[in-house]
A and B are shown apart, each in its own frame.
Chain A
């Protein structure tokens, strides 16, 4: 199949960047979207041109590296699929395809389609962790976890941190990502000790990074390759309010004194 690609080209983070039209001819419909780009890059290199830079790693939909906005939709038109798992049979020969990087102030473009997603790392570091004492682990069955909590926590834990939620959101808000982390950790007993400070710190960090606010339009949920539900955003809102109230409560108890 023959395609006309409109790709964002940007030399480095200082460059203004622009859309460039590239013809892609003789692409197999069985190729993945990234394999199609590989083919295009081989041709560009043969002609002495700079290949298109894009993020990729596992190519099996679990690492969260690939980050392409394809015709305005993060990870393309296929529901619950990463760019690497998207196949060219989802497109028609002769079609125009726009390929752009995640667009957010907090995700600056480094080169072409590669963005700096370390803002997510800083949000994670602000509160997305649990404290574990060193030493040998205790028997797993000694901590009872209700089945429904374990299931919900797992639904949230499938987040691969790719940032498609931010790219899809009209306001570049990371609420789906953050709420997945808050849900995963706060539903399980292991995450309870940091329950309040986690959500407060993560929401504070989100603002510092320059992300937008949620307007409940659920574009994130539709774009998420792991089909994470906006139910987690509601849970995070509850967690936030609870934590903000408990922050007001005078701390009592003098254990250890």
Chain B
């Protein structure tokens, strides 16, 4: 189909796929955050939420495969587009200058690849439980205890906070950028879309970082 070719192989089409998959991943991040914040409601509610997720069965797998698809496509296109962008300027300027490009926008591939590495660790840490031997002695289904055991290491918590900083920079440019790429530039809409990236980035950073910091501070036990 010609449309598929246009979306995957053209400059504008590939960027639209980046925007749509990016939005899907952002949606997941926000859903994940709202679930995780239940940890402040206590062990019972948090564990019930985790058990509820697991009981979704087939639906859970649909969501996982959808996310995996969006993630793979997002990373693949990012690497491909960045390679094209680098090769488009073989000789660099002797005097580099940036007029108005934001810090976040200039390091999208870096923060993005940091996130890919973080996701690999995060899955190995809490989903597959390969990295922390202390998880083996915890009772089955006590996710609350697992999170507290995991974050009681300052090194692990510090790494999570740093990763969330990278994610928030990524979202700061990414979320606002989606509107431009999808052609939703509008005089009345722009003041809102410009702020949406920084707002989402702040919510994600503060929200996610609050959990390891609360565990370290002994606020969540």
> Which residues of A pack against B, CB within 8 Å?
6, 8, 19, 69, 71-73, 98, 100, 103-106, 168, 170-173, 200, 203-204, 206-207, 210-219, 221-223, 230-231, 233-238, 240-241, 244-245, 247-248
Are B14 and A213 in contact, with the CB atoms below 8 A? yes
List B contacts of A98 (CB < 8 A). 93-95
Interface residues of B (CB under 8 A from A): 1-3, 6-7, 10-16, 81, 84-85, 87-102, 105-106, 108, 173, 176-177, 179-185
Contact A100 B95 (CB under 8 A): yes
Tell whether A168 pairs with B92 under 8 Å between CB atoms, given A213-B14, A213-B85, A237-B12. Answer: no
- Residues of chain A within 8 A of B98, CB atoms compared: 72, 219
Given contacts A173-B11, A216-B173, 5 further A-B contacts (CB under 8 A): A214-B11, A223-B99, A237-B180, A241-B16, A244-B2
Taking CB as reference atom, which chain A residue is nearest B6? A244
A-B contact pairs, 20 of them (CB 8 A): A6-B94, A69-B93, A72-B96, A105-B88, A168-B99, A203-B10, A210-B88, A213-B11, A213-B85, A215-B108, A215-B177, A216-B173, A217-B100, A217-B101, A217-B106, A219-B98, A222-B100, A237-B181, A245-B3, A247-B6
Q: Among B81, B92, B183, point to the contact of A213 (Cβ < 8 A).
A: B81
Residue of B nearest to A242 (CB): B183
- Say how far A241's CB is from chain B's closest CB, in angstroms: 7
Given A214-B11, A234-B185, A247-B2: A105 touches B99 (CB 8 Å cut-off):
no
Partner of B183, one of A8, A221, A235, A248: A235
Q: Within the assembled complex, what's the spacing in Å between the Cα atoms of A185 and B148?
A: 61
Pick the contact of B101 from A212, A219, A234, A236 — CB < 8 Å?
A219
Contact residue among B85, B93, B95, B101 (Cβ-Cβ distance under 8 Å from A218): B101
Is the beta-carbon distance between A203 and B11 smaller than 8 angstroms? yes
Contact, CB under 8 Å: A172 / B3: no
Given contacts A170-B85, A241-B183, A215 and B14 within 8 Å (CB-CB): no
Measured CA separation A206–B12 after assembly (Å): 11
Q: Which of B10, B84, B91, B101 contacts A170, CB < 8 Å?
A: B101
A141 to B94, CA, bound (A): 52
B102 and A217 form a contact (CB under 8 A):
yes
Known A217-B102, A218-B101: A19·B94 in contact at CB below 8 Å: yes
* Residues on the B chain within 8 Å of A214, using CB: 11, 15, 181
Q: Is A171 within 8 A of B13, CB to CB?
A: no
- In the bound complex, residues from chain B placing their C-beta under 8 Å from that of A6 are 94-95
Question: Which of A172, A216, A244 has a CB less than 8 Å from the CB of B88?
Answer: A172
Our pick among A212, A219, A223, A238 for the contact of B85 (Cβ within 8 Å) is A212
Chain A residues within 8 Å of B101, by CB: 170, 217-219
Contact across chains for A212 and B89 when beta carbons are under 8 A apart = yes
A71 to B101 CA separation, bound complex (whole angstroms) = 16
* Chain A residues near B3 (CB-CB < 8 A): 244-245, 247-248
A103, B92: Cβ atoms under 8 Å? Answer: yes
Closest residue of B by beta carbon distance from A167: B93
- Minimum CB–CB distance from B102 to chain A (whole Å) comes to 7
Cβ of A122 to closest chain B Cβ, rounded Å: 16
Most A CB contacts (10 A, CB to CB) among B88, B92, B176 go to B88
- Which of B1, B92, B105, B183 has its CB near the most chain A CB atoms (within 10 A)? B183
Asked whether, in the complex, the Cβ of A206 is within 8 Å of the Cβ of B89, the reply is no
Is the beta-carbon distance between B183 and A215 smaller than 8 angstroms?
Answer: no
CA distance A235 to B98 in the complex (A): 25
**Once the chains bind, are A216 and B100 in contact (CB under 8 Å)?**
no
